[in-house]
Chains A and B, each alone.
Chain A
Amino acid sequence: GAGVSQSPSNKVTEKGKDVELRCDPISGHTALYWYRQSLGQGLEFLIYFQGNSAPDKSGLPSDRFSAERTGGSVSTLTIQRTQQEDSAVYLCASRGLAGYSYEQYFGPGTRLTVT
C-alpha cells in the first residue's frame, strides 16, 4: 500500500516568508509525528498528533511554528517569518496503534532552504 508522502520534496524560500509543509500519513494510522533534521544531526521531535489533537507541542522551536491535522489524516506544518536557522529536512512519520507496535513509518521529508 501507499506509504507516508510529503510535499513539497524541496522548498527554497526567502527569509521572512511563510512556508507550509504537508504530510499524508498511511491510511488508518492515527498517530502522526513531525521531526526536524539539520545537516549531520539527529532527529529533533517537534510535535505529535493523536487523531486531530496534539497532546504535546513543547517540541516546537518557537511560536513561529504551528501544526494542524484535520480529519485525522493530512497534517500541515507552518513556519511563519522563516529564518535561516529553520533550514533543515522536515520529516513526518505515522504509526498505527494496533497491537503493541510502536514502529513509525517515515515519509521522504521536505528539504527546506531559507536564503
Chain B
Amino acid sequence: RKEVEQDPGPFNVPEGATVAFNCTYSNSASQSFFWYRQDCRKEPKLLMSVYSSGNEDGRFTAQLNRASQYISLLIRDSKLSDSATYLCVVLNTGGFKTIFGAGTRLFVKA
C-alpha cells in the first residue's frame, strides 16, 4: 500500500463547477500536510497548507481529518486556469521526509 494515495482522476469538469479531491495517508505519525499544484511539464508549487481546523484561500478549501488519516481539497467556481495536477503531500515525523501522492489530474473545460 502506498504511503499517500489520491483519487486517480482525471476529473473533467465545466467552468464554474465545484470539484473535490481526496487523499489518504498511512503513517499516523505524519505531522504536516499540503496541497501542491503541478502544471504540465512544470515543477510543483505550493497551493496551500492543510490544518486540522480546516483552512480556506479564496475558492480553495482544505480539510484534514487526523482520525481517519484523510485530507481533502475543494475547488469552487472552477476556472480554466485551474487545470493542472494536484498533489497531496505529507511530511513525516522529524520534519524532513516528504511523501508526494501520485496526483490527480483536473481538466476544466469551457
Contacts and interface: CB of A to CB of B under 8 A. Distances in A.
Nearest to B100: A43
B94 interface: yes
The bracket for how many chain A residues form the interface is: 20 to 34
Interface stretch (A20-28, A70-78, A99-107): A99-107
Nearest to A6: B43
A107 B103 CA distance: 19
A41 interface: yes
A50 B96 CA distance: 9
B46 interface: yes
A48 B97 contact: yes
B96 A104 contact: no
Nearest to B2: A42
Which one of B44, B100, B103 has the greatest number of beta carbons of chain A within 10 Å? B44
Nearest to B85: A42
Contacts of B98: 33, 45, 48, 104
Interface of B: 32, 34, 42-46, 49, 87, 91, 94-103
Interface of A: 31, 33, 35, 41-45, 48, 50, 55-56, 59, 91, 102-104, 106-109
29 contacts: A31-B96, A33-B98, A42-B87, A42-B101, A42-B102, A43-B100, A44-B100, A45-B97, A45-B99, A48-B96, A48-B97, A50-B96, A56-B97, A59-B97, A91-B43, A102-B32, A102-B34, A102-B49, A102-B91, A102-B95, A103-B34, A103-B49, A104-B46, A104-B98, A106-B43, A107-B43, A108-B42, A108-B43, A109-B43
Given A45-B98, A102-B32, A106-B44, 17 more contacts: A33-B98, A41-B102, A42-B100, A42-B101, A42-B103, A43-B44, A45-B100, A48-B98, A56-B96, A59-B97, A91-B44, A102-B49, A102-B91, A102-B95, A108-B42, A108-B43, A109-B43
